[in-house]
Amino acid sequence: MKMKASISSTILAGLLLHPVVLLLQLAPLNVNAADADPLMDFCVADLTKDLYLNGYPCKKPAAVTTDDFVFYGLTVPPQTNNSFGASAVFGFVGNFPGLNSMGISIARLDFAKGGLIPPHTHPRGSEIIYVLEGSLYAGFVTADNQLFAKVINKGDVMIFPRGLIHFQLNVGDGPAQAVVSLNSQHAGFQLIANSMFGSNIKDEVLQKTFFLDQKTVDRLKTIFS
């Protein structure tokens, strides 16, 4: 009798659990692709607060002004007389407080002839680029090392998925310019070469990863550190 009762209890528990499991399987999963949704109309970053948060604390609404929602940084072209012949100006939350909690940011890219924005990633955001002038060979590499790249020209738009290595090279006859937007208030900007050779990784790791001798490792660390 005890065995029958135990078996009956097990069957009953299974019948009660089955609908719960089915509901969990069918229930939609809410996943944030980038920054979390805001909980108010705006949360202008208070950059004066000495707090370490995932984001920034909000200014009191009475202290917010229209200028908090306007960014003037893209009006001045960045210098391109560097080793890459290209540069970027970012409108991230650190210099554009109105972006706080909005999940977006912007940047201006300028290229001298032959200029390159080297392979890099944005760990916290996808990027969309709009070419204002010139021609760029742009692309990204997937996690399984598949390359998606082509020349994009004035007026063209291309997207680079979140976290994937991507690049832009000016292949036109003169300077080039583009504007990009990212779906994060601070998407991050991580240059691949600088991360590998400028971060004090043990030399043996670099030698074995890239099949380099010590002299070449030392030279690259000097360049990218």
Cβ-contact 140, 161 below 8 angstroms: yes
pLDDT, tens digit, 9 for 90 and up, residues 87-129: 999 999 999 999 999 999 999 999 999 999 999 999 999 999 9
Residue 12 has pLDDT above 50, yes or no: no
Residue 32 has pLDDT above 90, yes or no: no
Q: Which residues pair with 117 in a beta bridge?
A: 168
pLDDT at 15: 44
Give which of 107, 115, 105 is closest to 185, Cα–Cα: 105
Percent with pLDDT over 70 in the chain? 84
pLDDT, tens digit, 9 for 90 and up, residues 143-190: 999 999 999 999 999 999 999 999 999 999 999 999 999 999 999 999
Q: State the average pLDDT for the chain.
A: 87
Question: Binning pLDDT at 50, 70 and 90, where does residue 28 land?
Answer: low
Q: How much is the average pLDDT of 191-195?
A: 95
The Cα 90–Cα 73 span in angstroms is 8
Cβ-contact 187, 122 below 8 angstroms: yes
